[in-house]
Amino acid sequence: LIRSLPGLRVPVSSEAKNLGSVSGPNRQRDLCTFCTISLDQEEVFRTKVFDKSVCPFYGEDFYFEIPRPFQCLSFYVYAKSVFQRDLPVGKVSIRKDDLCKYSGKEHWFGLQTVDPNSEVQGKVHLEMRLSEVITENGSTGQHISVRIIECKELPLISGQNCDPYATVSLVGPARSDQKKTKVKKKTSNPHFEETFFFEVTRSYSRRTQFNVEEEDIEKLEIKVDLWNNENLAQDVFLGETRVPVKILQSDHIHKAWYLLQPKGNGNKSKSDDLGSLRLKLTYIEDTVLPSACYTPLCTLLLKSPDVKPISASAAHILGDICRERYEVVLPMVRLLLHNNRFVPFVSAVAALELDNTQEANTIFRGNSLATRCIDDMMKIVGKNYLSVTLKPVIDEICESNKTCEIDPIKLKEGDNVEVNKENLQGYVQKVFSSITQSSSNCPPLMCDVFRSLRHLACKRFPGDPHVQYSAVSSFVFLRFFAVAVLSPHSFQLRSHHPDPEISRTLTLISKTIQTLGSWGSLSKKLSSFKETYMYDFFKSFQEEKCIEKVKKVFFFPPSHTQRSINGFIISNGCYRFVSIQKRAQGRKPPGMKTFKKRWLRLTNRELSYHKHKGETSSLEWLEVLSQVSRCNEGRLATFHPSNYTSGAWQCCQSLSSNAPGCKPCTTTMLANLQLDIDCDREAERIFSLLSANDTKLQSMEDACASLAVYQGPQREPEEYSKFTIQEPKETFHTLKQLRNIMEELQRQHNIRNDVRQYGSAEHDVKENWANFQNKTLKL
């Protein structure tokens, strides 16, 4: 099976110019606009609002993996309205077939009028037949049967599935017979399965062959309109298609898919000058081969964590030659995550980075392969974690709309800076508390990565007691939570950009949160603020308490210290003993009590059974056990859900008390994430990236050959210094393997391209598309 999977990258580093006026109360000089991107009629991205300009510069990047077939990519410019719905200024629509023409190039597009009757998408499946029939008086006539089978990919209406119905008409110069299907509720893919009959009034007598009445069949059309049933309001037009009756052959069934068209087939009157929009978009289609073709590449990449040194591995080489390409890390991270190889790989590349780090206070500060891998991992694995932790408080901030501006220069008339400071402080405390109380929700895989970073940092800088915290806090607060607070729409915490005032509040919260979560002296933290008002605001927080809360999130104390977690005292790695009630099983012997008081002892290494006193609740025990086990390096993969009695485990009946568990423990990689990752597509993207950087691969091969032969300084330091080459022979060996795999994959692509070029299903569709005036997709 060969799949063609499209993707779209749109840097909306666009600017609009000379935006025309819109109907409504907005004056042109006060125009506040934003831009949306729609796939057919489904909005997939929205920029922030640009204030009071007819020549706005939006400046945002957007990447979208297209999940379904589509007809048109559209960009809409709207004028923001406070008291009524947003007003369309104009649009740019590009048909899918034309995307390659503009891909990778900047282009100015003139804005067109937004006409509701031209906003259509979807297709309809029809079966038609022209039949000759004999009437009661013996004359012969022709009837047309039109069976409307189903529709697909109808647009969403107000973000929800529509309530579609269809009208079927036979139209001509002197007639318009119309019939209607039943309404289908809440679906964009309705199944109608209804048949309608129309009489074509051309009849004659069999005996005389004399035409009684004749209608010009050349001018007849079958017209199918799709509508959304609005009940009390006017029904919404969804699209139409027209089929000339003349293409139907007598007594032959014609069955085909037809693309829905705008009303009147898109005839437009000349629009006013609405301005123009500058865009640079990249449209790509990955032709994904059968899985077996990618096995050698995946195998080579997945064994990367085991290669010594890590710089000689295929995954590190990929990151090295494509370090300027921000999209290169994501497919590699997804592939490693799916196969549970991410933690050993990122630990190895982090160790390599630490070897080249000279000062503890600069740890993981750059945009390296390790930091980019961890950033992408947190976005994938921590998506639900962010939602659970931040979404409630972010929603409260956006909906309560309290003023939080503390910059004296930006205060509006009537603002009270002390009230604003109190509002902002309350929000910061809520966000910070949500983060510091979220450790039980942190995905195990993230905990594993953070534990590894702590271990590596302590090993690299053994004399610095704080490096274990700074190594992790830079990721957790600076690169994860603070970024999500600043841009909640980018992490699906909000559907759109917040308005400018809320965005300003979130910016102030984000600045404070990343400083509270960072590690360093108070003077160093305060010096990071360039603004005096932020300096004064930060001093209002009790830093020592904040530091203790930060430690509590993802850091468990070492064995030689004493700390308290949720009321549990840890002394020399031991949690205080707690009491439980033991109940005798089966029939109790005479004189034996049914219940006995016993105590458990929990340390950071074991859970044991004792006769000592202690107090706590079962819920607190479960929470502490959960926290400790999340960072347990020796966590088991399986467990027994039942007990061992009468010489066997009651769950699986294994006789040995040391038998491995029969049920899998919670994995570090969630099952739904594994299902969402298409390894074949990720491998195809990696192949495309390697192919696009073939010149750099060759330069790296030359550098390895030079170093291996001469064992001396590089002959071309400017060129070779771009690569990390620790073991030239091992690196060269990996490069040759990559080269062989790439050549074989390219050969497979060439073979399949040749096969698909002639006699393929795609070729048949194109032929019929042309035959039916660009309106049909033939089965």
385 CB-side CA count, 13 A: 23
Residue 127 has what pLDDT?
93
pLDDT in tens, 128-146: 998 887 766 666 778 889 9
* Distance (Å, whole) CA 29 – CA 21: 9
Per the CB < 8 A criterion, the answer to whether 471 and 393 are in contact is no
What is the layout of strands, in order, in the sheet containing 164-172? 175-180, 164-172, 221-228, 236-244
Q: Any idea which fold 123-202+217-259 has? A: Immunoglobulin-like (2.60.40)
201-205, 424-428, 496-500: segment of lowest average pLDDT: 201-205
Residue 570 has what pLDDT?
44
The torsion angles phi and psi of 569, rounded to 5 degrees, stand at -90, 125
Residue 265 neighbours by CB under 8 Å, 6+ apart = 242
3-state secondary structure 696-740: HHHHHHHHHHHHHHHCCCCCCHHHHCCCCCCCHHHHHHHHHHHHH
How many C-beta neighbours within 10 Å does residue 253 have?
13
Tell me which DSSP letter residue 689 carries. H
Residue 758 has what pLDDT?
38
Inform me whether the pLDDT recorded for 168 exceeds 80: yes
Q: 17 versus 23: which is more confidently predicted? A: 17
The two tokens of residue 592 are: 């034996």
* Distance (Å, whole) CA 356 – CA 192: 67
Q: Between the CA atoms of 338, 340, 346 and 347, what dihedral angle is there, to the nearest 10 degrees?
A: 170
62-66, 102-106, 418-422, 455-459: segment of lowest average pLDDT: 62-66
DSSP string, 574-616: EEEEEEEEEE--SSPPTT--SEEEEEEEEESS-EEEES-----
* Distance (Å, whole) CA 381 – CA 344: 16
Per the CB < 8 A criterion, the answer to whether 481 and 517 are in contact is yes
Question: What is the C-alpha end-to-end distance of the chain, expressed in Å?
Answer: 19
The two tokens of residue 453 are: 């970073």
Residue 481: closest CA among 608, 390, 580? 390
Phi-psi region of 59 (alpha: psi -120 to 50; beta: other; left: phi over 0): left
What's the average model confidence in pLDDT over 273-277? 81
Looking at domain 3-112+272-284, its CATH class is mainly beta
Residue 57 has what pLDDT?
76
pLDDT in tens, 259-270: 888 876 555 545
Residue 47: closest CA among 78, 73, 1, 25? 78
The amino acid sitting at 380 is I
Cut 0.75: pTM above it:
no
- Cis amide linkage into residue 713, ω under 30° from 0: no
Residue 776 has what pLDDT?
29
The torsion angles phi and psi of 51, rounded to 5 degrees, stand at -80, 135
What's the average model confidence in pLDDT over 399-423? 88
Residue 526 has what pLDDT?
58
Residue 762 has what pLDDT?
37
Q: 675 versus 240: which is more confidently predicted? A: 240
Please state the domain extents for the chain.
Answer: 3-112+272-284, 123-202+217-259, 386-446+463-554
pLDDT in tens, 458-476: 998 988 888 888 888 888 8
The amino acid sitting at 395 is D
Residue 735: closest CA among 707, 759, 715? 707
What's the average model confidence in pLDDT over 69-84? 77
Inform me whether the pLDDT recorded for 671 exceeds 50: no
List 276's β-bridge partners, or say none.
17, 110
List 90's β-bridge partners, or say none.
77
What's the average model confidence in pLDDT over 434-456? 87
Binning pLDDT at 50, 70 and 90, where does residue 497 land? Answer: confident
Q: 443 versus 605: which is more confidently predicted? A: 443
Residue 8: closest CA among 341, 225, 285? 285
Inform me whether the pLDDT recorded for 5 exceeds 80: no
The two tokens of residue 432 are: 């910070």
Inform me whether the pLDDT recorded for 12 exceeds 60: no
* Distance (Å, whole) CA 453 – CA 476: 12
Binning pLDDT at 50, 70 and 90, where does residue 249 land? Answer: confident
Inform me whether the pLDDT recorded for 394 exceeds 90: yes
The residue behind tokens 């939006």 is 58
Residue 675's H or E segment, with its range, is helix 671-676
* Distance (Å, whole) CA 579 – CA 611: 9
The two tokens of residue 128 are: 């038609």
The torsion angles phi and psi of 43, rounded to 5 degrees, stand at -70, 130
Three-class DSSP category at 2: coil
Binning pLDDT at 50, 70 and 90, where does residue 169 land? Answer: very high
- Please state, in angstroms and as integers, the Cα–Cα distance from residue 325 to each residue in 319, 320, 348, 559, 720, following that order: 9, 10, 21, 43, 19
3-112+272-284 and 123-202+217-259 share one CATH topology?
Answer: yes
The amino acid sitting at 462 is P
pLDDT in tens, 204-227: 444 444 443 456 677 888 999 999
Per the CB < 8 A criterion, the answer to whether 720 and 706 are in contact is yes
Inform me whether the pLDDT recorded for 455 exceeds 70: yes
Residue 222 has what pLDDT?
92
The two tokens of residue 562 are: 């004493």
The residue behind tokens 């831009």 is 35
What's the average model confidence in pLDDT over 614-643? 63
Inform me whether the pLDDT recorded for 13 exceeds 60: no
* Distance (Å, whole) CA 106 – CA 61: 14
Inform me whether the pLDDT recorded for 344 exceeds 90: yes
Residues 79, 82, 86: CA angle, nearest 5 degrees: 35
Q: What is the CA radius of gyration of the chain?
A: 34
The two tokens of residue 364 are: 């993981």
3-state secondary structure 23-39: CCCCCHHHCCEEEEEEE
* Distance (Å, whole) CA 321 – CA 329: 11
Domain 386-446+463-554: CATH superfamily is GTPase Activation - p120gap; domain 1 (1.10.506.10)
* Distance (Å, whole) CA 337 – CA 411: 47
Per the CB < 8 A criterion, the answer to whether 668 and 636 are in contact is no
Characterize 578-590 residue by residue with b for buried, 16 or more Cβ atoms within 10 angstroms of its Cβ, and e for exposed.
beeeeeeeeeeee
Per the CB < 8 A criterion, the answer to whether 432 and 549 are in contact is yes
pLDDT in tens, 718-772: 555 678 888 888 999 999 999 999 999 999 988 877 654 433 333 333 333 333 3
Pairing of strands 72-79, 87-95: antiparallel
The torsion angles phi and psi of 181, rounded to 5 degrees, stand at -85, 175
DSSP string, 459-487: HH-TT-TTHHHHHHHIIIIIIIIHHHHH-
Residue 587 has what pLDDT?
55
